[in-house]
Structure 1
């Protein structure tokens, strides 16, 4: 019997670890690219051996010629690989934040809806270690802070569905090699090399330049940075949740004295979470908004209210933020 190719083994091992403790049907999000195709093939092999039904959803964004035919081909392959149920989700891409963000939002909404409708407990996403490194660089360039530089989480709950990323410790090169070893022909998305997109520019120019200047370990080091910052952010978020409860007063006001005694990193998280509770849209709530709220606590000079996205005004009234 031929030996199993190491890249195939690496992807299967990652999927096996991700599915530990998962119950019920799982779905793979598959575009037909090397990363998600290798993930789907590994899931088709691993999930039944762990007693889990496994299906696939491929999203047709309708942004490129032939996208419907390509989605149908992915679905046909998935059915032949033993994945079930298999669905094509056709979405309309529109909204704020640019085409990348709009496509991502539409895709995640479609995947979550399909999982809920099909009774799936988890959706597996094909982001690799290289994707994580790119995310960290983009966050650094945008001044996103530790939360942004923590990158993509291994697991995130959306609407009761677990979004899992098994391949964050697997390289993009290994997913390509896994596809080649299995005789699979992945689709090459032209958006991945289109310089109109920031991530494509990072992938084709910025990250290779760093690798050339600092060595091949840069990719793994950036991904490791994301893991370390994610652990720190989770701890700070937990402290902030407890601090927010201590600072609450009547009518959802916050006690200034309670806030002032908090470390900066915790206090700003409390203010960010409180603003979101009040209805500020997360995507529009920026560092400058939180900094203005923080000034009401730490640099009070009688200034007027802070106006947050969503038409929310926050003012200091004596010892309270309201």
Structure 2
């Protein structure tokens, strides 16, 4: 995305892709990003006959959270938007808290979206959030797919998760709230350096001084996403051309394509094949190691048996690869 000044935020353009939604659930925490989204959605909703509901997740991690949810409820009511507080109850993990909270948050939101018949969930992720995500994934050694960042739309268990503010910087939304007189709250966890995202956020101004701005990182994510889409398409074509056969919960295909295609395509062919038997989100390192071993065996016309992420892979001497889920392990052995 270029560093040119941004135009005024037009709700009609911002939410145009939501005009055919059967119902919209807006996740609003009370911060300036989500409060700006709620006000803009309410304004847009006046011109469109789409049901808009608001939900706030109380993670039960801070005593102020309940009052913040009540604040959002009052502000939503002033806009004639129904509101529900969703509570994350039960014991909280001592490690990986942010990731666990994120999983709980989406679980609660998707469940509620289904309950109220909403087809879309919208969240207020911004350009800055996208930049932080790219940096965090880069630091963890992510592959191309990880560097696509957050998508503007994705499917979550049948609900469309949309991020309409992904092209907008936090500063623009904060300024909009302040100039419009829209109230918001400040979450102290956003400055808690125990969390990796906060530490990366602190580094962003220094990186921007060297030219690595949030807008340029977001543009990088868009370009990587375009490349990722092309590679996925090429891998699908290669897999379809390898005589795939499904049966009894498994899949087999002629594996020569894993060795004949460039390594990156081979990775994606295997990932797609595993996805067809219900195994997804496999660690890149494990996938790379598996493809390397398969390519070596294919070129040597050797058979090979190995496991990866709950799947049994069997390559026969004719070069056909069979994949099936591992059977459940017997207890007590």
Which category describes the TM-score, using the shorter chain as reference length? 0.7 to 0.9
Q: What per-residue deviation string (whole Å, max 9, x for no partner) do you get for residues 225-248 of structure 1?
A: 111111221222233233333332
Matches within 5 A, 1:161-176: 161-176=159-174
Distance 2:246 2:170 in 1: 52
Q: Which residue of 1 aligns with 2:227?
A: 232
1:191 aligns with one of 189, 192, 196: 189
Q: Deviations over 1:15-60 (max 9, x none)?
A: 333424x232212110111111100110011122122221111111
Q: TM-score, normalised by structure 1?
A: 0.87
Query: Quick one: distance in 1 between partners of 2:142 and 2:274?
Result: 18
Q: 1:236 and 1:95, CA in 2 relative to 1: closer, same or farther beyond 3 A?
A: farther
TM-score of the superposed pair, with normalisation by structure 2: 0.85
User: 202, 207, 213: which one pairs with 1:218?
Assistant: 213
Structure 1 unaligned runs (5+)?
1-5
Q: Does 1:265 align with 2:260?
A: no
1:17 matches 2:16: yes
Report SS of the residue matched to 2:193.
coil
Which of 115, 118, 121 is the aligned partner of 1:120? 118
Counterpart in the other structure of 2:327:
none
What residue is the counterpart of 2:330 in the other structure?
none
**Corresponding pairs, count:** 309
1:129–1:254: structure 2 CA closer, same or farther, 3 Å change rule? same
Alignment check: 8 A CA contact 1:14 1:166 kept: no
Deviating above 6 A after TM superposition, structure 1's stretches of 4 or more consecutive aligned residues are none
- What is the alpha-carbon distance in structure 1 between the residues aligned to residue 11 and residue 21 of structure 2? 18
Q: Which has the higher helix share?
A: 1
* Equivalent residue in structure 1 for 2:67, among 65, 69, 76: 69
Task: Tell me by how many angstroms 1:270 deviates.
Answer: 1.6
RMSD: 2.4
The separation in 1 between residues aligned to 2:154 and 2:133, in whole angstroms, is 16
- Extract unaligned runs of 5+ from structure 2: 323-333
Structure 2 partner of 1:28: 26
Q: Which residue of 154, 157, 168 corresponds with 1:156?
A: 154
After TM superposition, the structure 1 = structure 2 runs for residues 1-322 of structure 1, keeping only pairs within 5 Å, are: 9-10=8-9, 12-20=11-19, 22-84=20-82, 86-92=83-89, 94=92, 98-205=96-203, 207-214=204-211, 218-247=213-242, 248-249=244-245, 251=247, 252-280=251-279, 282=281, 285-300=282-297, 305-310=305-310, 312-318=311-317, 319-322=319-322
Q: Find the aligned partners of 1:210 and 1:223 in 2 and give their Cα distance.
A: 14
| Conserved? CA contact 1:15–1:39, under 8 Å | no
